[in-house]
Structure 1
Amino acid sequence: MQTFMHGAAVWDVACPQRPSRVAGLTMAGFRVRSLDALRMVPHPAVTLLLEFGAGSAVLDCAPGRQQRGSIVAGPGLGSGGAVRARGENVECVQVRLSPVIARAVLGASPADLDGAVVSLGDLWGREASRIRGQLGEVVSWQHRFALTDALLARRHEAGPPVDPEVAWAWHRIVGSRGLTRVDGLAAEVGWSRKRLWSRFRSQLGLPPKRAVKLVRFDHAAHRLVAGEGAAHVAADTGYADQSHLHRDVMAFTGATPAALADEPFLAVDDIAWPSRGTTAFLTSSGSSGAVAGRR
C-alpha cells in the first residue's frame, strides 16, 4: 500500500499484484481517513464502488440527492461537476469496467443506469450486503482483490456479451483516443447508422458521439495533469483550438483546464491505475482489426 499526498488529500492506495482474469476490468483499493468534497471527474468506464469497514462515503449527486454505500455508475460519472464525494474512514475497492463487459458483469446494461448513480443494493439485492461483509472479513488487500475478481469473473461468464459490431466500434473509438470519425463506423461494420447508434446506446450506455467526446476528454485531462500546457494539449488531442478544449473541460467537469490539472481524482491515477488511460479499456477480443461475425 502506498500513500498518496496531493494538497490536503492524503489517501492510502493499494493495487492488485496480478491483472484481472477479465479483460477490460481494473481495480484499486482506497483507505481515506477524511474525504472532503472530492470532485468526481468523468471517465470512459462504468464505476463500481465496493465499500466495507466502519466508515462510509457520501456522494452528493445533485441538490438534495445523495447516495451512500456501494454504488454503480455509468460512463461519464460526474459530468458537469455535479458529483462530489465526502466521508470519514472510507475503505473501498473501486472497479473500472469497460462498457463492453459491464452489461455481463452488472446483469444490466449501463443504459439502464440512465446516467445516474445507483445503489448496488438496488441492482444486486442481498448480494451487495454479502460482498461488503466478505471484503471486511479478509485480512489483506490482495485477498480483497482476489475475492472481487472471482466474483466479477463469475458474473461476466454468466452474463450476455454485447454485439461484436458494438464492441468493435467502441474499441475503434478508444484505440484512436477519441479521434475516430463516428460517421464512418456504421459502414465499417456493415450496419446502418440507425442500427449501430441504437445498439451502441442500449448496450454501452451512451451514443457513439458522446463516447468519442468522453474518450478524447479523458486523454486530454490526463495530459493536463501531467503538466502539459493547454494550448499544446488542445492541438495534439483533436480539439479545434484551446477555446474548444476549455469548453469541453467546463462541460464535463464544471472546472477550467487549469483547475482540472490539480484535481486529486486524476492525480492519483499514476499510483492507483498504473495502466491508466483509455487504452486500458480495450479487451482481448476488441482489437481494431476486422469485426468478428460482421453481418
Structure 2
Amino acid sequence: MLLSVTNELVVRRADPALRRHIRGYWGYASELPGRARQREPLSTGVVMILGLGPRLGLADRADLAQPAAWFGSFVAGLNDACAVIEHKGQMRGVQVDLSPLATRMIFRESMCSLAREVVALEHLLGREGRVLEERLMELGTWEERFDLVQAMLAAKLQAADPPPPDVDWAWRRLAASRGRLRVAELATELGCSRKHLAARFREHVGLPPKLVARMLRFRHASDCLLGASSSSLSELAATCGYYDQAHLDRDFRDFAQTTPTAYLAEQVTFVQDASPAVS
C-alpha cells in the first residue's frame, strides 16, 4: 500500500444550459511516493484531460506489458475497455466529461474516428489548444480554470450545428435507461432499422448502440458495486438488468479485464478514492 499520499479534488457541474453536453469538471492534484498504475472506471462518454503537470501515461489496453503512451492534454474517445493510467508520482489537471454528441460538435470530427483512440488536444485544436493550456497554468484557482474551460466549450457548442434529432433522442433514451432498453425497441420507436441506427451511432457516438447499451449497464453496475448498494453480486446483477450473475461476470471480464471482487478490491481511481470538494 502506498503511503504519504496527497490528494486534492474539486468537482463542479456544468452550468444548467450546458448539462446536456457537459457532465462536469474535475480539478485534481495527486502526489504519491513513486510511479504507479491505476485502472479507471469505464467511461460512457468522452474524456478531455487538460494537463497542468507531468505527462500522463495511458497503457495499451490490449497488452498491459507494453510501454505506456504519454500525453499532456488529450481527448479520449468512447472506448469499451477501462483505461489504465500511469504516472510518475504526480498528477495535476482538469478533466472534462463530454457527451459523444457534444464532442462531435466541439471538435467537428466524426466520432468513429475518435472511438477507441486517444488524441493530443493540440491535434484537434491546434494553437488554440496550446494557448488554453498556457492560460490554465497561469490561473490560481480551480474555479477560474473551470470558468475558462466552460467559456471556451460554450462558445464552440453555440457555433456548431446541433446533432440530428433522431440521434440526439436515441442517445438520451439509451442513456436514461442505463442500457436496459433493447436496441430493437429503440429502432422501433424511431421507425428505422437496427442497421440504420447502428450507422447513425457510429458517426455521431462512435460505437454501435448494442455495445453502448452494454457499456451503460456495466458502468451502472460497477458504480453500484463501489457504492455497496447491493448485498450480493447476484442481487447486483438483478438490480442492474442482467439475466444472471454470469452475464455480469462476463461484462467485468470484457470491459475491465478482471472480476467484480478484484475490481472492488482495487483502489480503482484517484477521483473515487478522494473526497471531492464540490463547488
Q: Which residue of 2 aligns with 1:180?
A: 181
Matched residue SS, 2:140: coil
Which AA in structure 2 matches 1:253? A
Q: Is the 2:10–2:277 Cα contact (8 Å) retained in structure 1? A: no
Quick one: distance in 2 between partners of 1:139 and 1:258?
Answer: 41
Matched residue SS, 1:197: helix
Quick one: distance in 1 between partners of 2:28 and 2:125?
Answer: 23
Q: Which runs of 5 or more structure 2 residues have no equivalent in the other structure?
A: none
Which AA in structure 2 matches 1:16? R
Equivalent residues, number: 266
Deviates further, 201-210 or 11-20: 11-20
Q: Is the 2:57–2:71 Cα contact (8 Å) retained in structure 1? A: yes
Which AA in structure 2 matches 1:125? G
Relative to the length of structure 1, the TM-score reads: 0.82
Deviates further, 145-154 or 265-274: 265-274
Pair 1:70-2:69 in alignment: no
Q: Is the 1:39–1:85 Cα contact (8 Å) retained in structure 2? A: no
* Percent identity of paired positions between Structure 1 and Structure 2: 33
Quick one: distance in 1 between partners of 2:146 and 2:17?
Answer: 11
Which AA in structure 1 matches 2:198? W
Q: Which residue of 2 aligns with 1:27?
A: 25
Pair 1:101-2:102 in alignment: yes
Q: Which residue of 1 aligns with 2:57?
A: 58
Equivalent in 15, 28, 43 of residue 11 of structure 2: 15
Relative to the length of structure 2, the TM-score reads: 0.87
Q: Write the deviation string for residues 116-169 of structure 1: whole angstroms up to 9, x where unpaired.
A: 111111222222211110100011100000001001111111223221111111
Equivalent in 249, 253, 259 of residue 252 of structure 2: 249
Quick one: distance in 1 between partners of 2:188 and 2:245?
Answer: 32
Matched residue SS, 1:15: strand
TM superposition shift of 1:216:
0.0
Cα gap change, 1:132/1:21 in structure 2, threshold over 3 Å: closer, same or farther?
farther
Cα gap change, 1:243/1:259 in structure 2, threshold over 3 Å: closer, same or farther?
same
TM superposition shift of 1:222:
0.5
Q: Is the 2:52–2:133 Cα contact (8 Å) retained in structure 1? A: yes
TM superposition shift of 1:56:
2.5
Quick one: distance in 2 between partners of 1:216 and 1:243?
Answer: 15
Q: Which residue of 2 aligns with 1:200?
A: 201
Q: Is the 2:57–2:68 Cα contact (8 Å) retained in structure 1? A: no
Cα gap change, 1:58/1:177 in structure 2, threshold over 3 Å: closer, same or farther?
same
Q: Which runs of 5 or more structure 1 residues have no equivalent in the other structure?
A: 1-5, 275-295
Quick one: distance in 2 between partners of 1:99 and 1:114?
Answer: 10
Cα gap change, 1:239/1:73 in structure 2, threshold over 3 Å: closer, same or farther?
same
Counterparts in 2 of 1:215-294, with a 5 A limit? 215-227=216-228, 228=230, 229-265=232-268, 268-269=271-272, 271-272=275-276
Q: Is the 2:56–2:91 Cα contact (8 Å) retained in structure 1? A: yes
Quick one: distance in 1 between partners of 2:133 and 2:260?
Answer: 37
